[in-house]
Homo-oligomer: A and B are copies of this chain.
């Protein structure tokens, strides 16, 4: 059994300057934008032929067949990439908990990009908030509390891996 992380003490903390941080952030943001544009382009080009129901990492985007009598075993709502991005954005600027009315609006808007219900939106925000907080608790138990920010303005999580077939 070869175990990794045999180097203890050698690599511990890494220090980054604000500038370096900004560079990294910019890179991520740039990639995110590029990805989204590419996806949009792809969707436009493949208009109706690519009828593929994406599930999770296999195919993060692609609008689900609306009204389709899909009796698949998909028991759990899975947001599309676009939906996630919109939700993240709203969360970031969002003033705390979305009101009931706000949830309706969001749901309505996100319906344009896939099946979604108000409950889904509500749960999503609840989870997002809770996990954000928990992460904070884990990540920064002993830091200077001068940092009030919790999330990066740009994408937080990148859905990794994507399998495609031309």
Chain A residues within 8 Å of B, Cβ to Cβ: 1-6, 8, 11-21, 24-35, 37-39, 41-42, 44-46, 50, 74-75, 78, 80-81, 100, 104, 114-115, 117-119, 122, 135, 137-139, 141, 146, 149, 153-155, 157-162, 164-166
Contacts and interface: CB of A to CB of B under 8 A. Distances in A.
Given A45-B45, A81-B3, A162 B75 contact: yes
Contacts of A157: 27
A8 to B, nearest CB: 7
Contact of A5 (B29, B37, B44, B114): B114
A14 B21 contact: yes
A164 B41 contact: yes
Nearest to A123: B165
Contacts of A159: 30, 34
9 contacts: A3-B153, A14-B18, A15-B15, A26-B158, A27-B28, A31-B34, A33-B162, A45-B166, A117-B138
Contacts of A45: 45-46, 166
B37 A164 contact: yes
A45 to B, nearest CB: 6
